[in-house]
Structure formats: C-alpha cells, structure tokens
Amino acid sequence: MPALENGEETTLVGGQAVMEGVMMRAPHSYCTAVRKPNGEIVTEEYPIHRMSEKYPLLKLPVLRGLGLLGQAMTLGVKALKFSANAALDDGKTEGKPGEKPVEITSKMMVANLAVSLVGFIFLYKLIPLFLATRLGHAVPSLSSRLAVNISDGLIRMAMFFTFLFLLSLLPDMRRVFQYHGAEHKVVFNFESGKPVNVENAQKFVTFHPRCGTSFLFVVLGIAMITYALLPIDGFWMKFVARIALLPLIAGVSYEVIRFAARRQGTLMSVLTQPGLWLQRITTKPPDDSQAAVAIHALQGAMALEAKQGGELVIA
C-alpha cells in the first residue's frame, strides 16, 4: 500500500510474495527475485511510471486509487508469471537441442485471470447474496432490505476468512505466506534505517500496517455499508449493482486508507488493526534463505531506482 507524505502519493518500498520469491517496488522501479529449484536466485527488474504522471486525470480522488490498484495488479501478474516460469525451470533441458523448458505464456495468465474473476464474482457476490436472500425468506426478522444486505456482507466476510484459513493449510501456499512474511520483515528493516541484511530483517515482525490485507478488510467493510444503503430490492438488480459498484468501492476504500495514513494515531490503528489480525493467516515467519530472496528483490529495485535518480521518502 502507498505511504503518504505531505499529501503526495509518495510510494515507499512495498511489494508482494510470488512463487518462491518476492517482488519489491519503489516509486519508479520494481524487481522480482525468485529462487530456482537449483538454488540460484534470478531477477527481473523494470522501470515504471506513476499512473498519475502518465494520466493526470488519475490524480483526482477515487480515480487515483483505481490507477494505483490497476498498476499494482499489472505488476503483480508480471511478477507471478516470471516466478512461475523460474520455478518450472529446473535446468534439466539446458544444453539439450530442440528442448525448451515449460513456460507460462501471457495468454495463459490472461485466461487464469479471467477464470479467477468469474470465480470471484460467483463466490463473493452471487453466493453470499443468494444465501442472505434465502435466510431472509426463512427468518421473517431478517427479511428487510437492510437485514438482507447486512447478512450478505457478514456471509461474504465469513467466506473470505474461511477461504484464507483453508488456503494457509496447503504446503505450497504456506511457502508463499512465508515469502509474504519475508517481504514485510525486509520492508520494516529498510524503514528502520538499519543496514538491510538477513540478521536485522529477522528481528522484525511479519505484520505490516501497509499490507494489502488491511486494504481488503476496508473494502469488505465499505462494501457492506454501501450495499446496505442501496434502494434496490430485486435479487438480480442487487447482483448487478454489486458488480457495477466494485470500482467505486475500491476507489473509496483507497481514499479512506489514505485519509487514515495522513492522520497516524487512533484512526489508522482502528483501520489497520483487523488487517494485522488477518495477517496472522496470510504471513508466516520466513527462514533465512527466504529473507535473503526478499533482500535481493529490494536491492534490485533500489539499484534501478538510483539509476533513474529516484528519491525515497521515509514516512
């Protein structure tokens, strides 16, 4: 998530976990570092531009959040593609004529995203609304428009938290969550001003207040409030409205986080605390080798940032 300084969208370092690695980004650069099956660390780094610099319209409230989120998703997909291909490259085909390592293509990633989007709408928009509507029919006291919409929001939250918990039980996802923890530890280490190394990074916790998990929690809360106020009664109209309002809810959620970040204290604590609790599921303590990969990603992003004359602000 962005760190804000003097009202500007000054991005501190941040990133995300990928398959056997970490993507780190600075204001004008990003680097993905992945450990291959043979133990080698490979990287991919590119310069980037702020969306508001390319499209001045995205400096406006709500729209700026959509621009940042869109860019974050694009970078995330690129990082995941790179990490997946690195994880699949075991080096066994090197030097063998006519043989190429298995590779994830851009078309495969687009298809996967499309399937994921359909699954998201089905699981977190259609199913909760259907269950809340059926509950309203079965329990007269929960049949009002407000009651159905609140029930829908609570069911959605319960499904989301349950999904994350079950996901964390899978061995492969646990490793991803360990790299997520490594990313947070290294970011903390960098922000502390101490030399960034494995020993120092491991002294920090894995729960970071700027994690996207906190943003997701705010999105769920604002979605519940928004849907509860909609003057719509028909099931399918409610469903369509939930899809149509997704961009608005995401943009408003960003503004709420931005407002809270500029007022460090009780408000920020209230908004980020549930996200910190949730990070007990989405982050796990990394081992030293995983922390080393996160540091490698940070160093790559910082090196490219320095070449571009980028300036970092410790908020």
Burial 285-297 (b: 16+ CB within 10 A, else e): ebeeebbbbbbbb
Lowest mean pLDDT among 150-159, 163-172, 270-279: 270-279
71: which residues sit within 8 A by CB, 6+ positions away?
48, 51
Alpha-carbon distance 211 to 296, whole Å? 20
pLDDT at 292: 96
- Residue 290 tokens read as 């995983």
The residue that leads in pLDDT, 281 or 273, is: 281
pLDDT at 271: 64
Considering the domain boundaries, does residue 1 fall inside one?
A: no
Considering the domain boundaries, does residue 9 fall inside one?
A: no
pLDDT at 200: 95
Q: Are 11 and 2 in contact (CB under 8 A)?
A: yes
Considering the domain boundaries, does residue 5 fall inside one?
A: no
pLDDT at 4 over 60: no
Considering the domain boundaries, does residue 313 fall inside one?
A: no
pLDDT at 277: 83
Mean pLDDT, range 132-140, rounded to an integer: 92
pLDDT at 116: 87
- Overall residue count recorded for the chain in this entry: 315
- Residue 285 tokens read as 């303590």
- What residue numbers bound the domain in which 109 lies? 14-307
- Of 72, 1, 82, residue with least CA distance to 34: 82
Q: Are 196 and 189 in contact (CB under 8 A)?
A: yes
What Rg do the C-alpha atoms of the chain give, in angstroms?
21
Mean pLDDT, range 10-26, rounded to an integer: 83
pLDDT at 97 over 70: no
Considering the domain boundaries, does residue 265 fall inside one?
A: yes
Residue 190 DSSP symbol: H
The residue that leads in pLDDT, 189 or 106, is: 189
pLDDT at 315 over 60: no
- Of 2, 29, 8, 75, residue with least CA distance to 302: 29
pLDDT at 58: 81
Q: How does the average pLDDT of the chain come out, rounded?
A: 84
Q: Are 211 and 275 in contact (CB under 8 A)?
A: yes
pLDDT at 93: 53
Considering the domain boundaries, does residue 188 fall inside one?
A: yes
Into how many domains does the chain fold?
1
Q: How many CB atoms lie within 10 A of CB 243?
A: 11
pLDDT at 127 over 80: yes
| 226 conformational bin, left if phi > 0, alpha if psi -120 to 50, beta if neither | alpha
Considering the domain boundaries, does residue 36 fall inside one?
A: yes
The residue that leads in pLDDT, 56 or 90, is: 56
Mean pLDDT, range 172-193, rounded to an integer: 92
Considering the domain boundaries, does residue 98 fall inside one?
A: yes
Alpha-carbon distance 76 to 66, whole Å? 15
The residue that leads in pLDDT, 9 or 19, is: 19
